[in-house]
């Protein structure tokens, strides 16, 4: 039913949907502030806030697409778990966190399944679990 990809699970209103993404990109960004001193050759930086973002493309059944659409319309944070390489020989570990869907798109197929793309921005830190 699903093509090989990365294992991903989405929890919306305490219901967990497991699926496989075909492509994914997790990005962690940290803001910094320059701390300069007179006569100092190099600037030093202070670590400030961090942001997590995830971009995924996946193949969904229509029931999962409906749950994601409802979460998007209600502006409800979802819990997203992403494990890159869980189906292959290379395992990158797992990222888990809450996120808000900021962008989504769907392409429908005749069989009632959907190709979906989502952009998510974290509402806080995403926990990282190293591979086992």
How far is residue 56's CA from residue 35's CA, in Å, rounded to a whole number?
A: 36
CATH number at residue 88: 2.30.110
Residue 94 lies in a domain: yes
Residue 1 lies in a domain: no
Nearest C-alpha neighbor of 79 from the set 24, 25, 7, 13: 13
Residues 6+ apart with CB under 8 A from 108: 114
What's the token pair of residue 112?
């009632």
Structural domain count of the chain: 1
- Domain containing 22 equals 6-129
Residue 81 lies in a domain: yes
- Whole-model pTM? 0.70
pLDDT tens string, the chain, 132 residues long: the values are 344 566 677 777 777 777 666 677 778 888 888 887 778 788 788 888 888 888 888 777 777 778 888 888 887 788 888 776 655 456 677 888 888 989 988 887 667 667 888 888 888 888 888 876
The residues facing 35 across adjacent strands are 44
């Amino acid at each position: 039913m699903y093509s090989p990809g990365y294992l991903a699970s989405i929890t919306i209103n305490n219901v967990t949907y497991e699926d496989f993404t075909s492509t994914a990109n997790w990005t962690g960004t940290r803001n910094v502030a320059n701390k300069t001193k007179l006569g100092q050759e190099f600037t030093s930086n202070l670590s400030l806030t961090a942001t997590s973002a995830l971009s995924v493309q996946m193949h969904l059944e229509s029931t999962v697409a409906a749950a994601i659409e409802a979460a998007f319309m209600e502006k409800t944070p979802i819990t997203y778990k992403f494990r890159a390489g869980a189906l292959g020989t290379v395992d990158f570990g797992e990222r888990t966190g809450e996120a808000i869907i900021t962008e989504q798109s769907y392409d429908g197929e005749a069989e009632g399944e959907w190709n979906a793309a989502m952009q998510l921005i974290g509402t806080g830190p995403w926990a990282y679990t190293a591979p086992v």
